[in-house]
Chain A
Amino acid sequence: MELLKQAYLLLRKDLRLELRRRDSLLTMFFFGTLLLFVFHFSFDVAPDKMAEMAPALLWLAFLFTGTLGLAQLFQSERENHCLDALLLSPLDRGALFLAKSGFNLLLMTAVELVVMPLFWILFNLSSWNLLPQLFLVTLLGTVGFCVLGTIMSAITLRARARELLLPLVLFPLMVPVLLATIRCMETILRTGSFGDGAPWLRLLLGFDVIFLTLGVLLFDWVIEG
């Protein structure tokens, strides 16, 4: 309970800072939208191929946009050595992990809520009724991205070329999440239900639970390493 209280305290502080500066959210939003327009003008996808292409294109946009957010994740802690202030305090490091993952999840979800409908409009898709199911799968994928991304962001925090290093260490580890999310979304777009995508959904859930637990337990070691 104390862990959640501390995580809420940190999350509230991060949200307040973001609302004042708005640099992460605006950057992510504009970059995500920009990528959609680039895809729109670059690909001429046949309507029958859309079920295969749409999830991959969407997640390509989310992956790059999310990485931008992750690169900024500890920005407020880097200023004035505030990370030291947090590490000095009686704060549970697991709470810091939960707060940072939650913060990035909120930012990415906000971007996804805009980018997904925009994608449907730009690519002239008719399956609007499937958006809630697709969004649910995207949310599970985003949780996986955020928990793993927060761990990697903390690992590369003190590295000199951390902006370059972060995608290099994160993207290979993201393969199971990407595969499971894209396959699951593809099944929904083809069949209109989860159907064959259930094993991918279980993989996604398993990934989220495992890395969320690992993050809470190991963040102490990760952030001080």
Chain B
Amino acid sequence: MRLTVNKLAKAYGFLWALKDLDLDLPPGSFLALLGPNGAGKTTLLKLLAGLVTPTAGTIELDGKPSNGNDPGWRAQIGFLAPADHLYENLTVEENLRFFSALYKRNGSASAIGQALEAIGLAPRAGELVSNLSSGMKCRLSIAKWQLLQPGLLLLDEPYGVLDGKGVDLLESFLQAHSAHGNLVVMASHHVSRALKLCNRAVILHQGRLSFDEAKQQPWPSFARAFGDFLPQGESWSS
């Protein structure tokens, strides 16, 4: 799957949240979306997910222009928002079964059981999601997208509520997902973790792309570009 974004822009009233954004992500790309608060990261994710309509520009998946009305288009996109997008009063298992049926994926008891086993929630399969901690809900979101297997997976600050084991689960899932030729776009303030996983990074600043490069080792250009956003007195080593 290939994602192409041309001159993408989004304005809220007179304020440009995002302007003139171009991206071209070949299959298997893992993009780290970085930048300070209010840079436009979440807006970009929502535009890619089709939750927000662009003011200008186009988004294409495998050369097909975005069409939010097309269920086939939407089936290819996943949005992992930690602890969100889950029904609190359905059980862990019911949530997975419901979304599997919605996406027409394998929602058999064994597939769900395996997914829950992988994230360590198998013993709590029959519990209501409202009884889970935020970290567990985030793990459940990981299991959900593991089952649904979207071609383009978008993540908004996934590290916030995860414990160490949860972070490992998330990262191994994301690495495997992109290794299968799928696309991953992850917005995060955990720069070192995001850079470890990604094969490309972009920095957004005030709605514009201020940096866009494939990963290098060492990466002095990134260190220079990112230095502008570091807290006073801190430095970034490539």
Contact = CB atoms under 8 A, between A and B. Distances in A.
Interface of A: 6, 9, 13, 16-17, 20-21, 76, 79-82, 84-92, 220, 224
B85 A85 contact: yes
B68 A16 contact: no
B89 A21 contact: yes
A25 to B, nearest CB: 14
Interface string B21-53: 000000000000000000000000000011100
A88 B87 contact: no
A79 B137 CA distance: 14
B93 to A, nearest CB: 12
B86 interface: yes
Given A90-B102, A91-B102, A92-B71, A79 B85 contact: no
Nearest to A18: B89
B179 to A, nearest CB: 24
Interface of B: 49-51, 68-69, 71-72, 74-75, 77-79, 81, 83-90, 94, 98-99, 101-104, 128
A81 B103 contact: no
25 contacts: A9-B98, A13-B98, A16-B94, A17-B89, A20-B89, A20-B128, A76-B87, A76-B89, A79-B88, A80-B83, A80-B86, A80-B88, A81-B81, A84-B51, A85-B79, A85-B84, A86-B102, A88-B49, A88-B51, A88-B74, A88-B78, A89-B74, A89-B102, A90-B103, A91-B102
A90 B74 contact: yes
B152 to A, nearest CB: 11
A81 B77 contact: no
A80 B103 CA distance: 19
A85 B81 CA distance: 10
B84 A81 contact: yes
Contacts of A89: 74-75, 99, 102-103
Given A16-B94, A80-B84, A224-B68, A88 B89 contact: no
B45 to A, nearest CB: 11
A89 B100 CA distance: 10
Nearest to B154: A88
A87 B51 contact: yes
A79 B90 CA distance: 12
A91 B75 CA distance: 9
Contact of B85 (A20, A84, A91): A84
Nearest to B70: A90
Given A81-B84, A85-B86, A88-B49, 10 more contacts: A13-B90, A13-B98, A17-B89, A20-B89, A81-B81, A89-B102, A90-B74, A90-B75, A90-B104, A91-B102
Nearest to B78: A88
A6 B81 CA distance: 24
B35 to A, nearest CB: 22
B85 A6 contact: no
A38 B79 CA distance: 50
Contacts of A9: 98, 101-102
A20 B129 CA distance: 13
A9 B72 CA distance: 18
A20 B127 CA distance: 13
A16 B84 CA distance: 20
A88 B79 contact: yes
B77 A88 contact: yes
Nearest to B68: A224
B102 A17 contact: no
Smallest CB-CB A-B distances: 5 pairs = A90-B71, A85-B85, A90-B75, A89-B102, A81-B84
